[in-house]
Structure 1
């Protein structure tokens, strides 16, 4: 009887071994709450564990778009062209039709409220030519913002095993959206969006009943669970919180409310401290805008060929190459080639490595200079060429490096891709 009494009085080893959580997130997989005024982490739970972002991905899609909008390359009324690939995306979606156009402002609202995947891919293709190009831009920008555990493979958040993030990284991104783009951040408060006779309600239910909520984004896939990033302001206090991996939307929202309710008493009222004091953010400086672009440009695709159908857009929606703020490359005089003018290749072979196709010779030569500048040793002895061809009524220029054997061309292209350059191996023609 004495032994039985002692056994009943002592907690089981399972209870003793259970770690004490730093949050009351319940059955969620990961969470974090950040005080925007002080930069302090008020609560966290598995905040650096890798998770699938689902549609929280669209926060970065919009961050990149806002960069281009601020630079004047795209405006709210710019018409973005819908490709068959964009139209084929899985729901949720606006059911955009191939060949149709959508205003940039409508695409933004579609991402914020409905989380439309076809609109997300349309943005990506109109800015970077392909969704893969755009995903590389997203990943590079994430690294610049200090999101070192995040990798993007698409613009929508649809399932991809290689697309990962953390609660902490999503908090970093939310802070940047709020501070870097105050002129555009208000879109995340949109409760309803009307498009072609239909009215869509924002998936973020905190906007409709949790005091002080001003955004920002929900997400769900089977692999990710139910995700939410929220921004809430009360009495000069401002919290940003992320919840990942909820079992249901309602349970996720309840966990978010509980975290915020517990954190507001700990938050500091007043003006935000200088950016450099925030421990989550590597840099909150406004990103440099992309370089000016010519009107009526078409996409800079490595795969553009006589049989390809380049996507063109209106004058106001000129798409730009997949780079946010590269070091400027000075255009070369017609008839010259980068680094050595008309220097002939020292390597023999009938194959070319193509790194882009453009509608002006200057753009093709600038691309050659950019690639050559970053891969000088790799491309040493291979002549850069801007090869002209006609497609319909448009003169195109293929940016190529010549003088490869087939195996050498394939190896070189593979290494260029690892450097985030799109390329193709082509036989000289």
Structure 2
């Protein structure tokens, strides 16, 4: 998937670069010429590192795909769950039960790097943050980020969440080229939300000529990270610095690398995505499932976790999910008219678990609307059960043999619907 044309520096050049403070004081770096695709500088660019809030670049990449498809609009209201509101700073201070517009959530990630907004995006698009992280990892592999694994949407510490400087450069290139209409948000210097004004953490936007984005990051384990895009005249560089000792030192290292790389850059029009050496060619992806306005999604932490089966193209090491809890009620509630076709079998295909019957019905209608032929003859049902003090509803399609249930679930996953095969009680 990934074809690289690497302009390898000489050993003497590498030795000289390590003597400079910009190289020795950071853990990894890469500078890429967007016009030619050549790598102009590398330092430990394939060494696994913690991404910190650079993770939010992929969170936004996935959200941009929803915006492009029309499944989400800038005015779509995302519901804030208690789990999202409980995230560690930096955050907006969103309250459980409140809503935030998709456009505001985007700007909160770009400027403040708000963790509560990142998790809110994840839960509203994928039901749980864990599911969204799998979507992120799958998308990363599709675009050539073969050394990256995501476990959350924010970049908060997780020992299993890793990336490389080169992978982050690939992601930056795809954000710029795949979503130019949305990439401009990374130029936002200030964001005002509910009376508070937030300044973008990317200080290069405020004084380094030609900077048009894109993202900073920091955790104690990761150090200070930065991905930058800088244009001067007809030259365009994308650079990544990982593991800086301080924010100021990281920024100084980035400026030094860019200053030394611009004389080597090629002026001219960028190559198309499908021919640029560092960027994998893209195929048209099916549109993601629609997201209802102000829809409340179930949290894995709020009820029994469902085993979610992913294809082998998902995460290299999928997170371990708890086994499904037995139903407290075996009386399913049929939804809608029964079709005339006979579908007989003791297995169900489950497409979600929700805290209200209306939410379960909505998901069933959504899935059946996009997979009418596939689900013909299989009755949609909402299976109620009690967990602690909360009534839950599992959204299922009934009447499958085991083999048929497995093949149906596989087809649904190819349509971006998460599902699991369960035997009926």
TM normalised by structure 1 equals 0.73
Kept in 2, the 8 Å contact 1:356–1:364? The answer is no
Aligned mate of 1:196, from 188, 194, 197: 194
SS of aligned partner of 2:274: helix
SS of aligned partner of 2:24: coil
What is the distance in 1 between the residues matched to 2:220 and 2:102? 29
Residue aligning to 1:326: none
Q: Residues 137-156 of structure 1: CA distance to partner in whole angstroms, max 9, x if unpaired?
A: 11111111111111111100
What is the distance in 2 between the residues matched to 1:206 and 1:31? 17
Label 1:395 to 1:253 Cα distance change in 2 as closer, same or farther (>3 A). closer
SS of aligned partner of 1:280: coil
What is the distance in 2 between the residues matched to 1:427 and 1:21? 67
Q: Residues 87-118 of structure 1: CA distance to partner in whole angstroms, max 9, x if unpaired?
A: 00000000000111111111111100000000
Kept in 2, the 8 Å contact 1:300–1:356? The answer is no
Deviation, structure 1 residue 398:
2.5
Label 1:68 to 1:163 Cα distance change in 2 as closer, same or farther (>3 A). same
Q: Residues 168-205 of structure 1: CA distance to partner in whole angstroms, max 9, x if unpaired?
A: 00000000000111111111011111111111111001
Residue aligning to 1:343: 344
Aligned mate of 2:352, from 347, 351, 356: 356
Deviation, structure 1 residue 27:
1.5
Aligned mate of 1:90, from 75, 88, 95: 88
Kindly report which structure 2 residues correspond to 1:24-423, keeping only aligned pairs within 5 A, or say none: 24=20, 25-284=23-282, 287-290=285-288, 293=290, 298=295, 335=338, 341-345=342-346, 354-357=350-353, 358-360=360-362, 361-363=364-366, 386-389=380-383, 397-399=395-397, 421=418, 423=420
Kept in 2, the 8 Å contact 1:388–1:396? The answer is yes
Deviation, structure 1 residue 356:
2.6
SS of aligned partner of 1:61: helix
What is the distance in 2 between the residues matched to 1:353 and 1:396? 10
- Count of aligned pairs between the two proteins: 361
Label 1:21 to 1:177 Cα distance change in 2 as closer, same or farther (>3 A). farther
What is the distance in 2 between the residues matched to 1:78 and 1:185? 19
Residue aligning to 2:326: none
Aligned mate of 2:15, from 7, 17, 20: 20
SS of aligned partner of 1:58: helix
Kept in 2, the 8 Å contact 1:38–1:273? The answer is yes
Deviation, structure 1 residue 335:
4.0
What is the distance in 2 between the residues matched to 1:86 and 1:426? 32
Residue aligning to 2:7: none
Label 1:243 to 1:256 Cα distance change in 2 as closer, same or farther (>3 A). same
SS of aligned partner of 2:15: coil
Deviation, structure 1 residue 423:
4.3
Deviation, structure 1 residue 273:
1.8
Label 1:301 to 1:334 Cα distance change in 2 as closer, same or farther (>3 A). farther
Deviation, structure 1 residue 353:
7.3
Q: Residues 218-277 of structure 1: CA distance to partner in whole angstroms, max 9, x if unpaired?
A: 000011000000000001100000000111111111110110001000000110123233
Label 1:303 to 1:33 Cα distance change in 2 as closer, same or farther (>3 A). closer
Higher Rg of the two aligned structures: 1
What is the distance in 2 between the residues matched to 1:31 and 1:183? 28
What is the distance in 2 between the residues matched to 1:215 and 1:157? 18
Q: CA RMSD in A?
A: 4.0
Label 1:296 to 1:106 Cα distance change in 2 as closer, same or farther (>3 A). closer
Deviation, structure 1 residue 86:
0.5
SS of aligned partner of 1:242: strand
Gapped regions of structure 2 (runs ≥ 5): 1-10, 305-309, 312-335, 354-359, 403-408
Label 1:100 to 1:297 Cα distance change in 2 as closer, same or farther (>3 A). closer
Label 1:102 to 1:364 Cα distance change in 2 as closer, same or farther (>3 A). closer
What is the distance in 1 between the residues matched to 2:286 and 2:249? 40
What is the distance in 2 between the residues matched to 1:36 and 1:421? 36
Kept in 2, the 8 Å contact 1:367–1:399? The answer is no
What is the distance in 2 between the residues matched to 1:299 and 1:184? 26
What is the distance in 2 between the residues matched to 1:281 and 1:148? 12
What is the distance in 1 between the residues matched to 2:83 and 2:297? 17
